[in-house]
């Protein structure tokens, strides 16, 4: 599209921040023009807990070129691979964690009257055999638009377009088994055990949060260690913003 009004590109603001799986071709194609227009007007750009999708050489070349144009004020990685690939493209850099680990600070879910339960969340393929003992099994699917019939056939299945429903479900689970990275991140953030059943390179974000064993077995994060990482990340962002105010 070349005839759409891009409000974000014209917003009168001091800082434009984005997070998540932003270091990929799709992000550059969809959001890149907006960010570059803002940067041309002198708006500061902050990559706040970002990482890639494929982590292949072509993706790295594309995103390095984008960063050279955008000239970001600072870059916080969400995984070590992204830090190594892109740290040289910004003046202020921090080896950080995925911002989704802050979700437990942003939302306090209600308790559920379901008793002990385990969540099984698989969208990329059928769930493997999982020993849950006598505990209740609840299922969830993150794709709420184009769903295969099998996703609608199991009892006690959550499919919602409201993120708080999923956070409530994962926050109360004794275990979360999933092929979705952020189902596991949510569970870990709320202090629950999780296991990831997918080889995606995006899963490298768990290593940065101290959950490197999550593909091999049920894993929890050390709450004190992650709390320290969060505070360090917050202080880094505070310094970036303080520097922006000084320049202003």
Cite the DSSP H helix spans in the chain.
7-10, 25-40, 57-70, 80-86, 103-106, 163-171, 181-189, 205-208, 223-247
Q: How far apart are the first and last CA of the chain?
A: 34
Q: What is the pLDDT along the chain (248 residues), one digit of tens a residue?
A: 678 888 888 889 999 999 999 999 999 999 999 999 999 999 999 999 999 999 999 999 999 999 999 999 999 999 999 999 999 999 999 999 999 999 999 999 999 999 999 999 999 989 999 999 999 999 999 987 777 777 777 889 999 999 999 999 999 999 999 999 999 999 999 999 999 999 999 999 999 999 999 999 999 999 999 999 999 999 999 999 999 866 65
Q: List the structure tokens of 165.
A: 């429903």
Domain ranges of the chain: 7-96, 104-222
pLDDT 10s digits, 56-102: 999 999 999 999 999 999 999 999 999 999 999 999 999 999 999 99
- Model pTM score: 0.93
């Amino acid at each position: 599209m070349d005839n759409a009004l891009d409000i974000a590109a014209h917003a009168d603001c001091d800082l434009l921040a984005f997070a998540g799986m932003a270091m990929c071709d799709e992000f550059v194609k969809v959001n890149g023009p907006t960010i570059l227009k803002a940067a041309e007007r002198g708006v500061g750009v902050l990559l706040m807990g970002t990482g890639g999708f494929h982590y292949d050489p072509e993706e790295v070349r594309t995103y390095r070129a984008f960063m050279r144009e955008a000239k970001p004020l600072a870059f916080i990685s969400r995984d070590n691979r992204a830090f190594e690939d892109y740290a040289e493209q910004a003046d202020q850099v921090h080896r950080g964690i995925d911002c989704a680990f802050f979700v437990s600070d942003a939302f306090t879910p209600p308790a559920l009257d379901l008793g002990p339960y385990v969540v099984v969340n698989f969208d990329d393929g059928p769930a493997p055999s999982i020993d849950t003992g006598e505990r209740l099994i609840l299922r969830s699917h993150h794709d709420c638009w184009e769903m295969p019939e099998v996703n609608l056939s199991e009892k006690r299945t959550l499919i919602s377009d409201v993120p708080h429903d999923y956070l409530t479900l994962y926050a109360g689970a004794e275990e979360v088994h999933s092929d979705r990275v952020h189902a596991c991140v949510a569970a870990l953030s709320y202090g629950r055990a999780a296991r990831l059943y997918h080889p995606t390179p995006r899963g490298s974000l768990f290593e940065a949060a101290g959950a490197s064993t999550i593909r091999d077995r049920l894993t929890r994060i050390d709450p004190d260690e992650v709390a320290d990482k969060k505070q360090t990340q917050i202080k880094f962002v505070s310094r970036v913003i303080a520097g922006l105010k000084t320049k202003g």
